[in-house]
Amino acid sequence: IHPQSIVHSFVEFADNSILAQLGPPDMRTPIQYALTYPQRLEGCSRHMDWTELSGLTFEPPDHDRFGALKLAYEVIDAGGTAGAIFNAANEAAVDAFLKEKIRFGQITELVAQALSAITVTPVDSLETAMDADQQARDFVNTAVKKTVLM
């Protein structure tokens, strides 16, 4: 966790050197770059005055507070269709939240339930990944219909 939100990304190379993308605590420029790569458009954030920066700090994440991050690490370890299940369940749950069908805190709960309910298998084809995606969306959408918003 990086409280200052100045470092937007790191890339670590085989020789253990690290390249970082830094900028104002505003995600507009990194998003703009992601959408327009390899072009560099004029910046849409304020100019960064590096003399105002007193330091950069990084803290280990609190997995109780950031439950989805813990799930993401578990998905990486699980491999196979777990990534497709995680992503699709998250997209379906976020959609339900945006439509005010569930509370924000229920997003991670639904993703975790989908990961527990759906069997993770090796990905041997695009069809396998797409099937896992659909199973996760169906699982979340069914669960949302049964949910009472409080």
- The span from the CA of 98 to the CA of 3, in Å, is 26
What pLDDT score does 139 carry? 98
What pLDDT score does 43 carry? 78
Helices (H) then strands (E): counts for the chain: 5, 2
pLDDT digits (tens, 9 = 90+) for 9-66: 899 999 999 999 888 888 888 788 889 999 989 878 888 888 888 899 999 999 998 8
Is a pLDDT exceeding 60 seen at residue 150?
A: no
Is a pLDDT exceeding 70 seen at residue 111?
A: yes
Reduce the DSSP state of residue 46 to 3 states and report it. coil
What pLDDT score does 125 carry? 97
- The span from the CA of 29 to the CA of 24, in Å, is 9
> Of the candidates 20, 19, 24, which has an alpha carbon nearest to the alpha carbon of residue 5?
24
Is a pLDDT exceeding 90 seen at residue 149?
A: no
pLDDT digits (tens, 9 = 90+) for 116-147: 999 999 999 999 999 999 999 999 999 999 98
Note the maximum CA span of the chain: 54
The CATH architecture to which 67-146 belongs is: Orthogonal Bundle (1.10)
What pLDDT score does 30 carry? 76
* Backbone torsions φ then ψ of 10, nearest 5 degrees: -130, 145
For Cα atoms 142, 138, 80, give the angle at the middle one, nearest 5 degrees.
135
What pLDDT score does 99 carry? 96
Reduce the DSSP state of residue 61 to 3 states and report it. coil
Q: Which one is predicted more confidently, 110 or 23?
A: 110
What pLDDT score does 73 carry? 95
Residue 19: strand pairing partners = 11
Domain ranges of the chain: 7-52, 67-146
pLDDT digits (tens, 9 = 90+) for 74-101: 999 999 999 999 999 999 999 999 999 9
- The span from the CA of 9 to the CA of 136, in Å, is 29
37-60 core/surface letters (b: 16 or more CB in 10 A; e: else): eeeeeeeeeeebeeeeeeeeeeee
